[in-house]
Amino acid sequence: MAYISGLCSSFPNFKVSQSQIEEFGKFIFRNNHINNLLKVYKNSGVKTRYLVENLDWYTSKHSWKERNNLFKKHSIELLKKCISSTLKKTNKSPNEISGIVLINSTGIATPTLDAELINYFNFPGHTKRLPIFGYGCAGGVLGLSRAVDMYKSSFKTVLVCCVEICSLTFRPQIFSKANIVSTALFGDGAVSFLIGDKGDCEILKSSEYTWKNTLNLMGWNVENDSLGVLFDKSIPEFISSKLKPIINDFTSKKIDGFIMHPGGSKIINSYKKIFSNHNSLLKSKEVLEKYGNVSSVTIFLVLLTFFNDPMSRGNFLMSALGPGFTAGLAEVKI
């Protein structure tokens, strides 16, 4: 049996409201037809979020080098904070960690960030490292699955970390609906937790499913100055029509609720159609309102709200969707 314990989060210092972001969008795109797209901000479902830089930084163009250096700097800062909290919360020492799974899709580092963490926390030299890049929003659930596999190979404690600095990919010179949607939705943050033999939540099983010929639905375009966000407008309808059969094939027990990654208000509406507007989906909505979409991090922010609610106990489906187009799936018992 494998359990999650010590789930902690950390966020940057700059907290912004959606009204501030809307005014920012009006200013940045003032010479374009921004008024036709202002409804994107109002309909996003986001009320506040956290950013690694103050809003003035995002008004200027920046190079790949500058963006990626900031990605590494802020990622390590956030990871140090939440991992320290995880170790303290679980009363674990660094020498008890046998593996690290580190998930992100918003920046590049080689050596990867987990190598820096081994040095900072003085984790054992034989610690297994598994950096995971490119799963996007699905990375949290899929990284959890890989961590459970790693744990079951040795039954020694595994540290799992997700960090996403989504805001650094914003390009102020690009006036497009996808770029505006990204400003309306995405935030920055990190989470960490342990996989071991006891904890708050048992992982009963996990899986993933990749739909063929769906590469165009979501991902990054590699541009000269940054990563350019790729969203297809058909994603909500795709989820409404394609996700339920995959979930039905996966689930084996009575499900008491749904721990779903809130990709945006339209994605949550798709979940409502699939799951008959189940009350547990309110937690996904609340997380989206408070933090925005923090990519792979977000599913664990939703899980935290279940941990903090004494009435949310039982067997739950946990799922997130990302580039591929891929669904990460897990059954958990809280």
Whole-structure pTM over 0.85, yes or no? yes
Q: So where are the chain's domains?
A: 2-196, 201-333
Q: What is the CATH number of domain 2-196?
A: 3.40.47.10
Is 321 in contact with 266 (CB distance < 8 Å)? no
| Polymer length in residues for the chain | 334
Scanning the structure block, which residue is given the tokens 């040795």?
154
Q: Do residues 43 and 116 touch, judged by C-beta distance below 8 A? A: no
Burial profile 224-263: b = 16 or more Cβ within 10 angstroms, e = fewer = ebbbbbebeeebbebbbebbeebbeebeeeebebbbbbbb
Please list the pLDDT of the chain residue by residue as tens digits (334 residues).
Answer: 999 999 999 999 999 999 999 998 888 887 777 877 888 888 889 999 999 999 999 988 889 899 999 999 999 999 999 999 999 999 999 999 999 999 999 999 999 999 999 999 999 999 999 999 999 999 999 999 999 999 999 889 999 999 999 999 888 777 878 788 888 899 999 999 999 999 999 999 999 999 999 998 888 878 778 787 778 888 889 999 999 999 999 987 789 999 999 999 999 999 999 999 899 999 999 999 999 999 999 999 999 999 999 888 999 999 999 999 999 999 999 9
Helix (H), strand (E), coil (C) string for 93-127: CHHHCCEEEEEECCCCCCCCHHHHHHHHHCCCCCC
Q: How far is CA 304 from CA 149, 261, 277, 286, 328, in A?
A: 22, 12, 21, 12, 18
The pLDDT value recorded for residue 49 is 96
In CATH, which superfamily holds the domain spanning 201-333?
Answer: Thiolase/Chalcone synthase (3.40.47.10)
Q: 189-225 pLDDT, tens per residue?
A: 999 999 999 999 999 999 999 999 999 888 887 877 8
Closest by CA position to 187, among listed 72, 62, 74:
74
Domain 2-196 matches domain 201-333 at the CATH topology level: yes
